[in-house]
Amino acid sequence: AQKVTQAQTEISVVEKEDVTLDCVYETRDTTYYLFWYKQPPSGELVFLIRRNSFDEQNEISGRYSWNFQKSTSSFNFTITASQVVDSAVYFCAWDSPRGATNKLIFGTGTLLAVQP
Amino acid sequence: GAGVSQSPRYKVAKRGQDVALRCDPISGHVSLFWYQQALGQGPEFLTYFQNEAQLDKSGLPSDRFFAERPEGSVSTLKIQRTQQEDSAVYLCASSLEVYSYQETQYFGPGTRLLVL
């Protein structure tokens, strides 16, 4: 069965520190998609990135970067020079075109607290 | 532009009451999902609509849960005879296309339900 594991429950850093959020997934599918979502205190899940299983290129968007490694089934997320506004719960999620419904399977989330 | 909206944002119900939660997806979005998010957990899939057709309700926890989307836009999640274990945040998401693994799911702010 598919599973997404975010082993870090909570991380606390001081502003301007770099921080990496880990995500490990389990699947037997060869085609799948991985996502990161941010959930600020307001509750709305904000989409950050989607990657497909055939594209292992790392991606950088401003202070955010993602490292996808199929060999270790990991899709880690790094925030460089963290800011207080980055404080939120971050979820990694998985999806696959196999099956009738393309529902996201989420990890349990990592609470990131950035202290000023 | 208008995102996914949900109402009410907060709902307190006495055990045994019926509740109805509303979701207004982004205009024109074909796919609509409901997720349940327990405290400290990631969202879990409840049900999926493609236009007005409910194609997957495998995640609904019991027959007390019922969802509809009669005109293919607004959706309502109804919970009958609420129990304390129903307390959670209920998230609605929509995406533009049918095969939503190719598309981003956009989430609403959620309805926080507390059953006393």
B103 compared with A49, residue with greater pLDDT = A49
Averaged pLDDT, A13-34: 94
Q: Is B100 on the interface with A (CB under 8 A)?
A: yes
Averaged pLDDT, B60-88: 96
pLDDT band at B103 (very low <50, low <70, confident <90, very high): confident
Q: What are A38-92's pLDDT values in tens digits?
A: 999 888 899 999 888 888 888 888 999 999 999 999 999 999 999 999 999 999 9
Write down the pLDDT at residue A108. Answer: 96
Write down the pLDDT at residue B91. Answer: 97
Q: Is B107 on the interface with A (CB under 8 A)?
A: yes
Q: What are B2-52's pLDDT values in tens digits?
A: 899 999 999 999 999 999 999 999 999 999 999 999 999 999 999 999 999
Contact B33, A103 (CB under 8 A): yes
pLDDT band at A1 (very low <50, low <70, confident <90, very high): confident
Contact A103, A35 (CB under 8 A): no
Write down the pLDDT at residue A109. Answer: 97
Cβ–Cβ gap A45/B93 under 8 Å: yes
Write down the pLDDT at residue A59. Answer: 86
Cβ–Cβ gap A96/B101 under 8 Å: yes
**To the nearest whole percent, how much of chain A has pLDDT over 90?**
70
Contacts for A13-18: CB closer than 8 Å, 24+ residues apart:
A13/A82, A13/A112, A13/A113, A13/A114, A13/A115, A14/A114, A14/A115, A14/A116, A15/A82, A15/A83, A15/A84, A15/A114, A15/A115, A15/A116, A16/A81, A16/A82, A16/A83, A17/A81, A17/A82, A18/A78, A18/A79, A18/A80, A18/A81, A18/A82
Nearest CA in chain A to B99: A102
Average predicted confidence (pLDDT) for chain A: 92
pLDDT band at B76 (very low <50, low <70, confident <90, very high): very high
Chain A, chain B: beta-carbon pairs less than 8 Å apart:
63
Q: Is B105 on the interface with A (CB under 8 A)?
A: yes
